[in-house]
Amino acid sequence: MPKAIPPPPPQASVDETVVAVRHVRAFVVLALLLYVGLASLVQPDSFFVNYGRENGASWNLWKLRQLDESEERAHEGGKIVWLVGSSMLRDSFNAKTLNRVLGKRGSEFRVVKFGQSRGATGLARGILQNLPIREGDLIVHGMGVENLHKDWVEYSLLPDWRIMMMNRTDQIWDIESWDVQKKLEASAAVPSTFFMYQEEAMAGWIHWINAPFYLEVPEIPTGHRHLRYRARQKISRTQKMIDSSEEFRNHMQPGDLDFGDTQYNIKGLADFRRIVEEAGAELVLFEHKGRQQYRDIYISDVVQADWNRWWQAQPEVIELPPLPEGFYYDMKHPNRKGRSLLTAYLADWLGHRWARPPSGWVPVWKRNKESDRDVLIKSPEEVVP
């Protein structure tokens, strides 16, 4: 005997449906108001973001908003060297020392530095396209072989909000490795600042929520290591990378390079060139080589040869002096000695514009008794820390 089919549930009347729709409408409006209210608290310089700011890209954009062009151009000549790039560029040059040396020499240039973590060319253009570049300025940017890895956005493991933070919507739609759904999600993220800064806002909330338990008022971070350089001197993680090199994802084998026009950082380089040319400025490129040990372990000979051919064909390339292995605090980032040498060289290079270091350019080191460390000296009255 078949089971009895229960009668359908009672249907809502027209009046009840009208009331239900009214409640849903009110709920949607309330949800939108709550979202707008929450989103309004997450802005680039909002209260909680200021207390939770911890990302290099965010700090570089903060510095860009604080930039006083008239102050930066107050020197005789008024030209600026814009150092724009990655954390390796950040750790390669001491901008404060450079400006002191250039001032002593009566140079028409001063430097302003923007270096962000994993700030390859495609990301760095997010800073460059918002700089007040003028005719006669100089843009200095560093690149490395890893920048041309195929599907670089995925290879870099950057979260979507970092890409959104540095790239315009049209640049996001140019990312070949992203599917349409991902591009739509990034384009529809409104207001975009909420998605870009919500992690730092949450970090700021946590600092204040924890404050009563620690009996101390949270302090606004300074961002020193993102805006100036990492102060590390001793080599870290290097031996671990050597002993367990197969566990690291940095290996580049034949077929990993992408020299196509649609590659993320090659498109970024095209934007660099366009922006610089339109401003009447000059672009200079140099290579982040890192330790020889790193290249021996992680970069195959075929990849290195292919990169070298491409790199040497770029018209803006200059060569920096090679750094000894002990002048890095890890596999790629210069430490204090490396930064001193490169800072001194850039100061000299600005006066001569060599394509490569001349044989006569030899760094001179001296022991500073007060700090008990070696410092680089270029003349009796000039000390580059």
What is the rounded average pLDDT for all residues in the chain? 89
Q: Is residue 223 part of a domain?
A: yes
Residue 379, domain extent: 41-384
Does residue 385 register a pLDDT over 60?
Answer: no
Question: DSSP labels for 106-151?
Answer: T-SEEEEEEEETT--HHHHHHHHTTS---TT-EEEEEE-GGGGBTT
Q: Is residue 319 part of a domain?
A: yes
Question: DSSP labels for 321-377?
Answer: PPPPGGGBSSSSSB-HHHHHHHHHHHHHHHHH--SS--TT---EEEEETTTTEEEEE
Beta-strand ranges (E) seen in 16-130 are: 79-86, 109-116
Domain count of the chain?
1
* pLDDT confidence of residue 384: 56
Residue 102 to residue 347: CA distance in whole angstroms: 7
- Which whole number is the average pLDDT over 216-223? 91
- Which whole number is the average pLDDT over 161-184? 94
Does residue 154 register a pLDDT over 90?
Answer: yes
Q: Is residue 85 part of a domain?
A: yes
Q: Residue 367 — very low, low, confident or very high, per pLDDT cuts 50/70/90?
A: low
- Which whole number is the average pLDDT over 111-121? 95
Q: Is residue 1 part of a domain?
A: no
Q: Is residue 121 part of a domain?
A: yes
Residue 381 to residue 36: CA distance in whole angstroms: 58
Q: Is residue 18 part of a domain?
A: no
* pLDDT confidence of residue 140: 98
- pLDDT tens for 19-38 read 888 989 999 889 888 888 88
* pLDDT confidence of residue 380: 47
Q: Residue 233 — very low, low, confident or very high, per pLDDT cuts 50/70/90?
A: low
Q: Residue 231 — very low, low, confident or very high, per pLDDT cuts 50/70/90?
A: confident
Q: Is residue 35 part of a domain?
A: no
> What end-to-end distance do the CA atoms of the chain give, in Å?
95
Question: DSSP labels for 162-185?
Answer: HHHHHS-HHHHHT-TTS-HHHHHH
Lowest mean pLDDT among 158-162, 286-290, 329-333, 379-383: 379-383
Lowest mean pLDDT among 10-24, 36-50, 183-197: 10-24
Does residue 304 register a pLDDT over 60?
Answer: yes
Q: Is residue 349 part of a domain?
A: yes
Does residue 232 register a pLDDT over 50?
Answer: yes
Does residue 363 register a pLDDT over 80?
Answer: no
Residue 322 to residue 335: CA distance in whole angstroms: 14
* pLDDT confidence of residue 14: 82
